[in-house]
Chain A
């Protein structure tokens, strides 16, 4: 393996990803600057490069995906964005710049899990060894912690648990065929040296355990068991029983992957495949059940838009005056409508379906001019 290493730290927010990235940073991995500023929710620092956070946030916004999105279909949306050559080129350029100054780079951001294939691909193109670490924390604790620190987001318990299940199930799948490790937050707090030594051996990065004593002391100083401020159980949360049972099984099977080679010859992976299928089915059914609510919201939005467009008395009067003047634009639209109507009558639907949408729109615009 070459000297370049890209360490990708994934996991649900509030799972100890900051602590892990902070430790490996002290042991020699570079966290690209500038970093996200420390705040009360993470007093020892996030170890998140600002550029990465901004880029991921923009991409998620573009894909209309939330950082802890519970929709399993959201993975197709972020995949689509990740294939954009411009996005690939931007990430490539930024990471190349990091590697020009540092051989060992760690990237951590709670949104990273949506873009693991993108980072892996760019890292490999730059000749880096790719290593993925997924932090594990019980979903009830994750949700409780998020309720405490992300209270500005109006997400209910059940949705947050579903988001945990979705992100963890698919993150496990995303990292499956690669050099990876799972680390339990509690284990890191209890004795951080053991998980790090295991990863050092597993990833063949001896510099982690060979770090100077001073650096090891810095790493040790980051670990504070009181950081685990949110302890919770399922009883504290309002979650459907089916989702609760599924999440608990996912949690147990993820834990079984912590020890190297402890996946029972693929049995745990097969169970996780089953859980993922079950979650997709569960979520689809949930969407079907609440269809009335969705339709009602859509109707409400439609009514709102119409009423927003409805003219006031003076506007109506003004509109009437404009109508009387019969603007050229409306005549052109009518002409376009007539011509398109004739096309619809004379060209069979099957043939119309073959005409690309952009061509149709171009024709409409042509008639309107």
Chain B
């Protein structure tokens, strides 16, 4: 791998010219203010209807990089953006190479290989053409509060070229269209946003990739900005090559995920700070409901009493409360039908 920041064009060891990393900051043209969100996705068609519209509304441009989905994720992304009237803000790219999974597979893959997570991330983020890059996952749902925070940061950071954004997000385990479990325990924050400049690129570390450098000027986003979807009937740990999660402190979050998953599947006691949330009668999908009440749930320590659902106010008002457009129906209780606790 060529040293970070030394050149604007990074070759891959396999020699695929069309997948050379060409950084946007090297074009010579001025970068537009604001954020570009980059989503690296694989088989996220189910989550995309809830993930994409809020992030499309919040940042100037969204780049979805599909890595070999078999569930029609790119098509769903384009359809969802079209339904939201935001197709102009979306770019869908394909990265066709198998990418090493986190853990031992990643460790064994050189960082300048197209199969490396590090290379994949650098290639994906090289498509950013704004002053700030925002890493986003295909299962992260912005709340209305989070949408406003990102929209404001676009101008608040206009003259700041060294800030990094850190955010904590809670996991939401979706059981059915009406029921989910929210993990309100505080996790360690991760870096999600940084300046789009030669100083900020991904490097290889043991289990996965890291963005460097670790800046001193870090802005902590509110904890109520977003939550992360986990479908109880899906294989949540498929992108890990070793699911023991017992090696480093970095994997503490994964260990907790695994513990909650098992508890929900096996009907064993849940860890502390995991709360069950059920959407009220009326057909509102649990994810739409959580988007509206998540901030209050977080701030009230797990209750949603006396919550004022956001009203339409001004041009950037919230859409009416309804299920995400283009969403596939959520399966009912998991295959074994054991999750019935409340």
Q: Give Cα A132 to B210, complex, Å.
A: 41
Contacts of B315 in A (CB 8 A): 177-178
A102-123 near B? 1/0 per residue, CB < 8 Å: 0000000000000001001100
Option from A1, A76, A84 in Cβ contact (under 8 Å) with B160: A76
**Cβ of A75 under 8 Å from chain B:** yes
A80 to B, closest residue via Cβ: B219
**Cβ of B316 under 8 Å from chain A:** yes
Q: Once the chains bind, are B158 and A72 in contact (CB under 8 Å)?
A: yes
Of A146-154, A275-283, A298-306, the one contacting chain B is: A275-283
Q: Once the chains bind, are A121 and B148 in contact (CB under 8 Å)?
A: yes
Option from A76, A120, A126 in Cβ contact (under 8 Å) with B159: A76
Q: Give Cα A71 to B153, complex, Å.
A: 16
Contacts A1-B311, A125-B308 given; does A177 touch B316 at CB 8 Å: yes
> In chain B, residues 155-178, which have Cβ atoms closer than 8 Å to a Cβ of chain A?
155-160, 163
What is the size category of the interface that chain A forms with chain B?
35 or more
A161-195 near B? 1/0 per residue, CB < 8 Å: 00000000010011001111000000000000000
Contacts of A350 in B (CB 8 A): 203
B152 to A, closest residue via Cβ: A117
A74 to B, closest residue via Cβ: B159
Q: Give Cα A280 to B161, complex, Å.
A: 11
Q: Once the chains bind, are A174 and B152 in contact (CB under 8 Å)?
A: yes
Contacts of B152 in A (CB 8 A): 79, 117, 174
Contacts of B149 in A (CB 8 A): 83, 117
Q: Give Cα A173 to B203, complex, Å.
A: 36
Q: Once the chains bind, are B203 and A178 in contact (CB under 8 Å)?
A: no
Contacts A75-B156, A76-B159, A79-B152 given; does A85 touch B223 at CB 8 Å: yes
Contacts A75-B155, A89-B299, A354-B205 given; does A129 touch B313 at CB 8 Å: yes
Contacts of B160 in A (CB 8 A): 73, 75-76
> In chain B, residues 125-167, which have Cβ atoms closer than 8 Å to a Cβ of chain A?
145, 148-149, 151-153, 155-160, 163
**Cβ of A353 under 8 Å from chain B:** yes
B225 to A, closest residue via Cβ: A83
Contacts A73-B160, A127-B308 given; does A80 touch B295 at CB 8 Å: no
Option from B151, B153, B205, B295 in Cβ contact (under 8 Å) with A125: B295
A63-86 near B? 1/0 per residue, CB < 8 Å: 000000001110110111001110
Option from B33, B219, B222, B295 in Cβ contact (under 8 Å) with A76: B219
Contacts of B282 in A (CB 8 A): none
Q: Give Cα A273 to B123, complex, Å.
A: 30
Nearest CB of B to A267, in Å: 17
Q: Give Cα A319 to B213, complex, Å.
A: 41
B71-103 near A? 1/0 per residue, CB < 8 Å: 000000000000000000000000000000000
Q: Once the chains bind, are A353 and B213 in contact (CB under 8 Å)?
A: yes
27 A-B pairs with C-beta separation under 8 A: A73-B159, A73-B160, A75-B156, A76-B156, A76-B159, A79-B153, A79-B156, A80-B220, A83-B149, A83-B219, A83-B220, A83-B222, A85-B299, A117-B148, A117-B149, A117-B156, A124-B311, A124-B313, A125-B295, A127-B311, A177-B314, A178-B314, A276-B155, A283-B159, A350-B203, A353-B212, A354-B205
